[in-house]
Amino acid sequence: MGKMDSSRTQNWKNSLIYLTFLLTIIHLIIETHFSHNLLFWNKESVRVKKISDLPLRFRYDGTFKILQVADMHYGSGSITRCRDVLASQFEFCSDHNTTRFLKRVIHDENPDFIAFTGDNIFGSSSPDAAESLFKAFGPAMESGLPWAAVLGNHDQESSMNREELMSFISLMDYSVSQIYPSTNGSMMTKIDGFGNYNLQVYGAPGSMLANSSVLNLFFLDSGDRVVYQGIRTYNWIKDSQLRWLRQVSQEFQGQKQDPLYLTDATPLNKPPALAFFHIPIPEIPQLFYKEIVGQFQEGVACSRVNSGVLKTLVSIGDVKAVFMGHDHTNDFCGNLDGIWFCYGGGFGYHAYGKAGWPRRARIIQAELQKGKNSWIGVERIKTWKRLDDEKMSKIDEQMLWMSNLSR
């Protein structure tokens, strides 16, 4: 028995030595290989979001310029082919053409802010939503300009749902997008959709309204598709979103002004506002029979449900113009009950379009009124479009709104 016990003890010691040897080898492999990769990943991928200079505000010259980008339909880059371009363009045309156009219009127009109005990526051509989003919004992030986005009806058809998409977009460099609106410092989560929020644009530096919002930008999630009464249709802006819109609008009524600069000429009414969403409202087809600026080239693809968006906008009184996407070959502005509704026109090359009809972007410029000693409230809002042609042609410049003080 003594020899047997001794043998067992020796075998146990050998096993322990062998196990220690294996653990040492595994530890060395991790230290020399995997840990390097983990550290590399940490250094390259985990970093703090780059933040824009906030708040948004008018320039010293009293202007604030917005670039609207509608329907990029970004796919997977160079392998994503263009749609509806001339035969001579097709061979070398891809998502890169969309990227080049975005860089070009940012350079030429030098906007203060970029608004992406949905179908930013084309889900069925984007196996990895995150990768497509980085490429699609790449020029905006590289520019260092503040930018914001809403979703269209195709963004969620890839690897992220709508909430995940808006969360991801809100974390991208220089994005000021939000998943939910904030009320009294807390997020308002009991609201339909993802991407309902407002952004305030402050007066020019050193002016009497430098510490006040003089222009508000409302962003609304118009949804994607839904089955309503057994019929498949496009979604619509819901009552909860309209209640929020009315609430925010009321909060700006008679907002506090800077007492150091308060004069009889200081506007006490709530500031004008602009709204951005993707899917047109059901009243837009009426504009086919009215005077418009631009082209009405396709049927309006809207919801069968009229949730009262136009009625709400008219009642709150501060929204002067709405900017939409969705119908790519419509690029007109038309007036309904005193509010202008403007299409951005198709921007992306993977989106459907019209061969020989250049892709386009819309520019919106708000201009302040000059008081006796300082810039004061917004005097006018105008718009035009830029074409992705040889001359970057500027077309259809028009006035959207002028304040009562300037008339």
Domains, the chain, ranges and CATH?
56-406 (3.60.21.10)
Quote the pTM value.
0.86
User: Both tokens of residue 269?
Assistant: 């009414």
Mean pLDDT along residues 138-147: 98
Q: Which of 69, 53, 207 is nearest to 137 (CA)?
A: 69
Q: pLDDT tens across 280-337, in order?
A: 999 999 999 999 999 999 999 999 999 999 999 999 999 999 999 999 999 999 999 9
Supply angle C-alpha 159, 226, 175, rounded to 5: 45
Tens digits of per-residue pLDDT, 358-407? Answer: 999 999 999 999 988 899 999 999 999 999 999 999 999 999 999 975 54
* SS3 at position 381: strand
SS3 319: strand
Give the C-alpha separation, 333 to 44, whole Å. Answer: 45
- Rounded CA-CA distance 276/274 in Å is 7
Q: Which residues pair with 117 in a beta bridge?
A: 150
What are the tens digits of pLDDT across the range 4-45?
A: 555 555 555 566 665 666 666 555 544 444 333 333 334 455
Residue bearing the bigger pLDDT, 1 or 65: 65
Predicted confidence band of residue 262 (pLDDT cuts 50, 70, 90): very low
